[in-house]
Chains A and B, each alone.
Chain A
Amino acid sequence: MTDLASDARSAGRTAPIIELIGVNKWFDDFQALKDINLAVLPGEKLVVCGPSGSGKSTMIRCINRLERHQSGRIIVDGTELDDDEKNIRTVRQEVGMVFQQFNLFPHLTVLENLMIGPQRARKMTKAQARERAELYLERVHIPEQADKYPSQLSGGQQQRVAIARSLCMEPRIMLFDEPTSALDPEMISEVLDVMTELAESGMTMVCVTHEMGFAKRVADTMVFMDAGEIVESADPETFFGNPRTDRCQRFLQQILGH
């Protein structure tokens, strides 16, 4: 499972922007992550898949410290995540996250949802924050919804607002935790399109998703997790064409099956 890290090292030129080294995580007695090693290069697109409960969410939530790992090291953009609150905030400024359930702030308008981060965490003026919010709302193709409340939008629109909210912090890394799983089928593509555009713009992305069409299109590296471990990681061609392990083969058959 160290082939990714060694790839990165042999590439030589660039150091990884995200690095997990021997990470373990327990929920009480239950071990959710087992000796996770992972390296993501700047601009790399990593797609994580695996059966339910395999630890995908837990792993990416560790990257911006929504979960605390108990052993091993996590280094994001040169900052090691430990109990130091200052380091945690530094990392969170560089890492955006999109959730399955959108988690928009229901009491704020779309524009206010986008402005709050730049205003409070980036100390921008209201006018600057507004300008930036409008820019990113345009990026996700819904500038006309600026003054609505989240509850007045469709699921697909809400998720695009959530993506824009993260982008307003101008992060170097974006994490996606099953961003299309809560959407009606007809809205999935509008969100995937925005994600694809983001990928093309050179953003470093870690996506947990079962949208294999999207994965084939944008992924530089596929990661398969099972029972808290990274079982397989490879470029998409090898991953889909010639999976090494039985577990991964079976999973892919199930998900691509019919």
Chain B
Amino acid sequence: MRLAGHYRTLVKMLAVSLIAVLLSGCSSNWGWYVVSPMTKSGMNNLLFLIGGLKYTLLLSVTAIMISVVVGLLVALPGLSENRALKLFNRTYVECIRAIPILVMILWVYYGLPQIADIQIGVFWAGVLALALSDSAFQAEIFRAGIQSIHRGQYEAARSISLSYTDTMRFIILPQAIKRILPALGNQLVYMLKMSSLVSVIGMQELTRRANELVVTEYRSLEIYTILIVEYLVLILIVSAGVRWLERRMRTDEGS
């Protein structure tokens, strides 16, 4: 509840600073007409910018779903006693983690079709690059989460003859996921921000649209301010959602 209090204060502070910026827009330096819903062209511009939300969301959510699955599949061998499996985990994590996301996006979009005989669109190139980059971090989060579950839980599960898969699925992962939920939420926020990089290969998400509008309207200050607000609102909503989920999962354990 204290956290929720802090959160409310934060939102208030943001709202105040936002109003300050908007008010200062009345002075001659600002040209809010470019996105004014009062005029037809302003309205069009505004809708064009907001329309990117759909792609930013689609891109990030698809990518994070893939990266969670891949991350888990990479984390499990890392927890094994087997040397070779452990080595696979370490190699994957260290290598993927070392590649800057922007570079990964460029390589997947321009490079991958040349070595593998595939046609890859902007959207899926973006998803793949983001998911790949994120999966290394997900793998580390899952590994730490699973490792934090007491050994007695495995032993109890094995002693009632549950298989490895059932032990993971019904006993270990539900507890581990509850613990790593804050970290997964962070990762989602991070993903939403990183998706802006996919603009470089022409994906019409939030950032790309802002860039395109700036080129035709020459109003970078207003348009990029709108862009910031878009990300801010999006991420505040997502964070609130994650927090709600955390609270819910905590209460259904009765502790």
- Chain A: residues with CB nearer than 8 A to chain B? 64, 66, 89, 92-93, 95-97, 99, 101, 103-107, 116-117, 120-121, 148-149, 151-152, 162, 165-166, 168-169
Contacts and interface: CB of A to CB of B under 8 A. Distances in A.
A121 B161 contact: yes
28 contacts: A66-B155, A66-B159, A92-B159, A92-B161, A96-B159, A97-B155, A101-B152, A105-B153, A105-B156, A105-B157, A106-B175, A120-B162, A120-B163, A120-B166, A120-B170, A121-B160, A121-B162, A121-B163, A121-B166, A148-B254, A149-B254, A149-B255, A151-B254, A152-B254, A165-B160, A166-B160, A168-B160, A169-B160
Contacts of A99: 152, 155-156
Contacts of A117: 160-162
Interface residues of B, number: 21
Interface in B157-186: 157-163, 166, 170-171, 174-175, 178
Contact of B160 (A101, A107, A116, A152): A116
Interface in B47-85: none
A64 B154 CA distance: 13
Contacts, number: 72
Given A105-B156, A121-B160, 6 more contacts: A97-B159, A105-B153, A106-B175, A149-B253, A149-B255, A152-B254
Contact of B155 (A103, A107, A120, A151): A103
Nearest 5 Cβ contacts at the A-B interface: A117-B160, A149-B254, A103-B156, A103-B152, A121-B161
Given A89-B163, A120-B170, A106 B253 contact: yes
Nearest to B160: A117
Nearest to B178: A107
A38 B161 CA distance: 24
Question: Which of B160, B166, B175 has the most chain A CB atoms closer than 10 A to its own CB?
Answer: B160
